[in-house]
Structure 1
Amino acid sequence: MKAGVSWPVQEETSDPLAAFFQPGSKLTWHYNWNKRWDSQLLPHTSPNLQLNAEFVPMIFAPPYLNNGVQVQDDWQLMLGYNEPDHANPAVAVQTSPADCAAAWVELAKLRTPGKRLASPAVAADLNWLKEFFSYLPPGTQPDVLAVHIYTTTFDSLRVQLEEYHRKFGLPIILTEFAMTSFDPNVSPPQNMQQVHDFMGQATKWLDETPWIERYAWFGTVRNSFNLHGVHEFNRLMDAQGNVTALGQQYINGGHD
């Protein structure tokens, strides 16, 4: 199964996340933009919480590689920097391609047999990503490409992913996507049914496309601030921590 969820560490506890990994769930992995998911970063999480899912760590930005926090044990895939082309400090540490590439050489030393690295995931700037790759010494290149796409049509999602694949030739992990747009000239979704339909089309295509390795819908939060402008219709969880109807669709595979 390819589908997973993101869970912002700012939510302070991972307890609500357990609802997404109950018996019968089609979801298999999660991440929280950090090296660990446990109580070292989330002090209010129940000490005996068990999630039946793979945790995928992330090096959020170059300074986080040596920030004193140990990477989660037994990781198999690690996500690279989060939106280093983005100027919003609430979601990223803006860093040049050259500086990210220089730091990446150290990050790549964590890769050993059985461990794979996903590229930095840009917010939108493909030229940033191409420049980053141009600076990497041989043997340090990522194994897979991490991608973020926010759009209001399935065709746009597919076309953008195909462009990433054509330009970089790597398998893709779509670590953030939702039916929303940050362009004020683009209409947001008008009703929940549109988002249900978008999810159904998108997850079916993602599951059937061999060069898509994994994906994670964006919208698993309680606090609206942690949506960072993504339309509320994309919520997989409500403000009280209950799974929404869209969240249940996602748990069940997304296609329905």
Structure 2
Amino acid sequence: MIQKLGAVAALMLSGAHGLTGKRGLCYNNDNPSKDAVFANLYKGMDKVTWAYDWGYPSWGLDSSLEFVPMLWGLPSDNGSGWKAAANAPGVVNVLGFNEPDLTYSASSNIPPEKAAKGWLNYIQPLAGGSVRIGAPNVLWNNVDSSSGGDYDTAQWTEYFLAACTGCHFDFAAIHYYQDCVTPDGQNGAVWFKGNVTDAHEVLDLPIWVTEFECYGDEAQQIAFLEEALPWLDEQDYVERYAYFGTFPEYLINKDGTALSALGQAYATI
């Protein structure tokens, strides 16, 4: 069993310092204009206050949204670009490695000991400064969740923490992907709430759900959000969350010109 992060990694909790609101966006610049055009469709939506793009820079994210840079994986250079992004004016939170516990092509797929060394080199130097540090973004999809490889998520996290001696984290970052309605008819929102609760109990840190989605049609996803979002907003230990994702046929309509019905629901529930 994973020991609580507070006991393993010499963590200092800093509460909600530097937070502007819970609801956020995950986006990229994979669009004709090669910028944050889809995320910027949320400008003026009061409940949506922050965004990240799995890296840096922000690709022109509107200044009304707080940009949160991420060190997606181990840099191939000396990390100077990351250091500049993490110390840029207005940056108050940073995100660590993206799905280092998983092995598929879109994950950073970093063995725990190597991830710990990289963390101490590139992220730990930020501790004690003006930014809050999020632990690696791991999948938290029920017990033994994994896309393959040598470790399930719980094992990866345990080994990483054991190797990351003296590492500092202000919050834990998790991902969740499951059906809106399970094959045997169970409510996916109930499963989701159970997983977020479990992550907090195991990791003993404030939680950011930096990616989550239920698999289903648009009506099923809206029903999921109608139950999940008010619950997330009510949990003091949930600091932030971002539904996947700010792309056409997800939170953006097929033409890429406006929010989809799902996107409108995410902005207003």
Same fold, judged at TM 0.5 (above): yes
Identity over aligned pairs, percent: 29
Change (3 A) 1:210 1:57: same
The TM-score with structure 1 as length reference comes to 0.80
Distance in 2, Cα, partners of 1:57 & 1:66: 17
2:57–2:69 Cα contact (<8 Å) kept: yes
Partner of 2:154: 126
Shift of 1:245: 1.0
The unaligned stretches of length 5 or more in structure 1 are 39-44, 181-188, 223-231
Change (3 A) 1:65 1:112: farther
Partner of 2:42: 20
Distance in 2, Cα, partners of 1:156 & 1:209: 16
Distance in 1, Cα, partners of 2:58 & 2:70: 10
Shift of 1:50: 3.2
Shift of 1:68: 4.6
Length, aligned pairs only:
221
The unaligned stretches of length 5 or more in structure 2 are 1-20, 140-144, 146-152, 180-187
Partner of 1:71: 85
Partner of 2:264: 248
Partner of 1:7: 27
Residues 38-78 of structure 1: CA deviation (Å, up to 9, x unaligned): 3xxxxxx6xxx733110000000122673452315131110
Distance in 2, Cα, partners of 1:118 & 1:65: 22
2:164 pairs with 1:136: yes
Partner of 2:210: 175
Counterpart residue type for residue 146 of structure 1:
A
Which structure is higher in RCO with an 8 Å CA cutoff and minimum separation 6? 2
Partner of 1:42: none
**Alignment RMSD, CA only?**
1.8
Change (3 A) 1:171 1:68: same
The alignment partner of 2:108 has SS state of coil
Residues 94-136 of structure 1: CA deviation (Å, up to 9, x unaligned): 1101100111112110233331110111234122112111111
Partner of 2:185: none
Change (3 A) 1:249 1:27: same
The alignment partner of 2:208 has SS state of strand
Distance in 1, Cα, partners of 2:198 & 2:53: 27
Matches for 1:85-104 after TM superposition, within 5 Å: 85-89=101-105, 91-104=106-119
4+ runs of 1 displaced by more than 3 Å?
A: 64-68
2:127 pairs with 1:111: yes
1:3–1:216 Cα contact (<8 Å) kept: yes
Residues 145-192 of structure 1: CA deviation (Å, up to 9, x unaligned): 000011220111111111111111011000000112xxxxxxxx2x42
Distance in 1, Cα, partners of 2:37 & 2:245: 16
Partner of 1:155: 190
